[in-house]
Amino acid sequence: MPAVINPVASFSPLYAQIKALILARLQASEWLPGEAIPSEMELAARYLVSQGTVRKAIDELASESLLVRKQGKGTFVATHQREDWHYRFLRLAPDVGQQLLLKNHFLLCEIAKPNPRISQLLQLSAEEGLFRIERVQSFSGKPIVFEEIWLPVTRFEGLTLDALKSWPGLTYAFYESKYATHMVRAEEQIKATSLEASIACHLDLAIGSSVLSVERVAFTYGDQPVEVRRALYDTTEHHYENKLN
């Protein structure tokens, strides 16, 4: 007889309820990125279900990359602060040669002018403040990416250009470690555009060159949008890679 976790509503299967309970813990930052969660046996005992049911819940969370299983060691909360996750969301690759290692150069971090489109994407009211960050990323000296990033001031209170510049790792690892915000997934919209004069200098390209415009909305636990980026890629010697399944 299954233990009824939520007897009132929901005809959802038990493992889905267990999954929701685990998700709630993650969302509440009770188990932090990089840490191990309790073993399957312990969770099964805690929630009064069988190990198999916990397993199925964890399986789904692992397939969504919220958790990472490691045989013999345990199950861990996914984190961007790891080598093998550096390219989690980066789809830019060189046409020939090895995978690239981009070098970061932050240009500015300011309070953004009100921008209804960005506010809407982040599900914020027009009054709520936004940071706006600019940066350039280069590969062996050549600038490849110009990027604008918008972040809600409320979640990223006190953010400064210096803090960004002095962080050694990835931006998403920075969010995780300084603002307890783990990015789970993202959606991108890609277009081809002509390079504007104001940006051309940053990319070392002629005005009017064709560049790839990639607009990204990134989400944390619970499908909450937290960050908007608009990047311009120089694709003369690189491309955006995508797998369709």
User: Does an H or E element contain 191, and which?
Assistant: strand 183-194
Q: Which of 63, 71, 198, 242 binds DNA (CB under 7 A)?
A: 71
Q: Closest approach of Cβ 161 to DNA, in Å?
A: 39
- CB-based contact 113:129 (threshold 8 Å): no
Among positions 31, 85, 179, 240, the unique one binding its own copies when judged by CB under 8 A:
240
CB of 6 to its own copies, least distance (A): 23
Out of 8, 9, 63, 73, name the contact with DNA by CB under 7 A: 73
Least CB distance from residue 8 to DNA, whole Å? 15
Name the one residue in this structure whose structure tokens are 């953010």: 159
The three-class DSSP label of residue 164 is: helix
Distance CA 81, CA 35 (A): 12
Does the footprint of DNA cover residue 51 (CB under 7 A)? yes
- List the interface residues with its own copies, window 77-106 (CB under 8 A): 88-89, 91
Residue 185 interacting partner from DNA, its own copies, none (CB closer than 5 to 8 Å by kind): its own copies
Question: How many CB atoms are located within 10 Å of the residue 241 CB?
Answer: 9
- CA torsion sign, 74 to 75 to 81 to 86? positive
**Integer Cα distance of 64 and 170 in angstroms:** 21
Footprint of DNA on residues 138-197 (CB under 7 A)?
A: none
Kindly list the residues in this chain that would bind its own copies in the complex (CB under 8 A).
63-65, 88-89, 91, 185-194, 210-213, 216, 233, 235, 239-245
